[in-house]
């Protein structure tokens, strides 16, 4: 998945008041796009799976002039990453602003993770320039990752939205006939097949999110929920939690046409191969595990 790239680029998000050096990465975002250089950019729809093949992110020494204000974000191995706050910043030669979503299959993977995670923090800083309690201009804490209000002392921490990814399965007497529910979102011309997913509501345990989202999207009751693994998904400020479960009772699907274009059962042999090379998403990993392993994916 997007966060899995080995010890060489181990992620360290401990905040320190570092100053950027010439070889440090300094990222900049404008209108939701990341300053980057890619060798190829495919279709404009991120779900097409045709995105930047190789991505480069700018280092401080690449800029014609240094940003006026920047803050330390995190480190990946020996590489340090900073965020520039300048509204207007002269881009290094050969760099342009690219949609972060377009880069989902970009290489190297650790720079894709860096761009996605930095974009999440960039949105958080941008959305909290003024205090939500008293309206005063906020400040960045000097020694910790916090936004503080100097007027009323209100503190804001980075936004993380929990959500679930759920593989709904139907087990048969013959394991070769086991099936899984795949869905496609409405309003996306090239949407890939995916799993049931959704955000957790206030006061709701993750297990209840699974039950509610499955019922809302495909009209099924489920049982035997099993936690699989979690994934930070900076594209939507989300911490995704993956579950396996089994249909409970009637397996007839009722599709929520407002959110989904279609949903249906797939046996392992019927699952499309479009996720085979998806190394970024929890959805892709779970679909591929079921396609190649069947019920052994969670047993």
Task: Choose one of 104, 127, 150: the last residue of a domain.
Answer: 127
Q: Mind listing the pLDDT tens digit for each residue in 134-172?
A: 999 999 998 899 999 999 999 999 999 999 999 999 999
238 in the same domain as 121? no
166 in the same domain as 118? no
HSE value, Cβ hemisphere, 13 Å, CA-based, for 296: 8
Task: Choose one of 79, 105, 127: the last residue of a domain.
Answer: 127
110 in the same domain as 231? no
173 in the same domain as 118? no
169 in the same domain as 123? no
Count up the domains in the chain and report the number.
Answer: 2
pLDDT at residue 225 is higher than 80 = yes
Give the residue-averaged pLDDT of 184-191.
80
Give the residue-averaged pLDDT of 238-243.
98
Q: Which domain holds residue 116?
A: 7-127
pLDDT at 134: 97
Q: Is this prediction's pTM over 0.85?
A: yes
In a domain, 185, yes or no: yes
Q: Mind listing the pLDDT tens digit for each residue in 97-129?
A: 998 887 777 889 999 999 999 999 999 999 999
In a domain, 248, yes or no: yes
Q: What's the pLDDT band for 93 if we cut at 50, 70, 90?
A: very high
96 in the same domain as 179? no
pLDDT at residue 47 is higher than 70 = no
Task: Choose one of 127, 145, 176: the last residue of a domain.
Answer: 127
pLDDT at residue 79 is higher than 70 = yes
Which single residue is written with the structure tokens 């396996």?
244
In a domain, 136, yes or no: no
pLDDT at 299: 83
CATH of the domain at 257: 3.90.79.10
pLDDT at residue 50 is higher than 50 = no
For a pLDDT cut of 90, what percent of the chain falls above it?
80
Helix (H) or strand (E) holding 215: helix 206-218
Give the residue-averaged pLDDT of 201-219.
98
DSSP letters spanning 22-61: TTSEEE-EETTEEEEEES----SSGGG----SBEE--BGG
């Amino acid at each position: 998945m997007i966060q899995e790239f080995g010890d060489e680029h181990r992620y360290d998000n401990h905040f320190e008041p570092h100053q950027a050096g010439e070889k440090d990465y300094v990222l900049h975002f404008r209108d939701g796009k990341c300053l980057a250089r890619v060798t190829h950019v495919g279709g404009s729809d991120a779900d097409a799976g045709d995105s930047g093949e190789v991505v480069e992110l700018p280092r401080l020494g690449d800029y014609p002039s240094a940003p006026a204000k920047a803050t330390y974000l995190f480190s990946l191995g020996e590489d340090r990453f900073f965020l520039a706050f300048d509204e207007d910043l002269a881009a290094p030669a050969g760099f342009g602003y690219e949609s972060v979503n377009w880069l989902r299959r970009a290489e190297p993977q650790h720079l894709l993770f860096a761009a996605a995670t930095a974009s999440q923090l960039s949105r958080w800083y941008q959305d909290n320039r003024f205090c939500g309690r008293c309206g005063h201009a906020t400040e960045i804490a000097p020694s910790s990752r916090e936004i503080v209000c100097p007027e009323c002392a209100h503190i804001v921490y980075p936004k993380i939205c929990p959500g679930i990814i759920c593989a709904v399965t139907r087990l048969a007497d013959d394991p070769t006939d086991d099936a899984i529910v795949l869905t496609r979102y409405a309003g996306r011309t090239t949407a890939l097949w995916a799993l049931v997913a959704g955000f957790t509501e206030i006061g709701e345990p993750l297990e209840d999110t699974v039950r509610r989202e499955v019922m809302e999207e495909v009209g099924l009751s489920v049982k035997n929920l099993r936690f699989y693994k979690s994934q930070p998904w900076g594209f939507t400020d989300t911490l995704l939690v993956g579950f396996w479960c089994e249909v409970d009772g009637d397996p007839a699907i009722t599709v929520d046409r407002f959110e989904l274009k279609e949903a249906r059962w797939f046996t392992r042999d019927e699952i499309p191969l479009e996720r085979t090379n998806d190394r970024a998403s929890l959805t892709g990993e779970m679909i591929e595990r079921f396609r190649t392993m069947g019920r052994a994916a969670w047993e």
